[in-house]
Amino acid sequence: METEAGRAAFVHAAVSRALIRAFGMVAANMERERHGHAPAYGEEAFEALVVEEGIGHNQVLMALRGE
């Protein structure tokens, strides 16, 4: 990722992965709710996506600066 565009693409890919995972988690929670069950994923699981994908505020700024 030598270029600014490459660094931005890397961040975009990480955000896209997190969104795909989050949508799957939301769908699972909705399905469980429809069947009268407790959610499979809580707030902590969604917050963990940010950490796992490295897309927190500081991580994104560092990635975009090439650090």
CA–CA separation, 67 and 59 (whole Å): 9
The pTM of this model reads 0.85
pLDDT at residue 36 in the model: 97
Alpha helices, DSSP H only, in 1-67? Answer: 4-34, 43-53, 57-65
- Residue 1 pLDDT: 55
10-residue mean pLDDT series, the chain (67 residues): 89 97 98 97 96 96 93
pLDDT at 2: 84
Of 5, 24, 14, 23, give the one whose Cα is nearest residue 52. 14
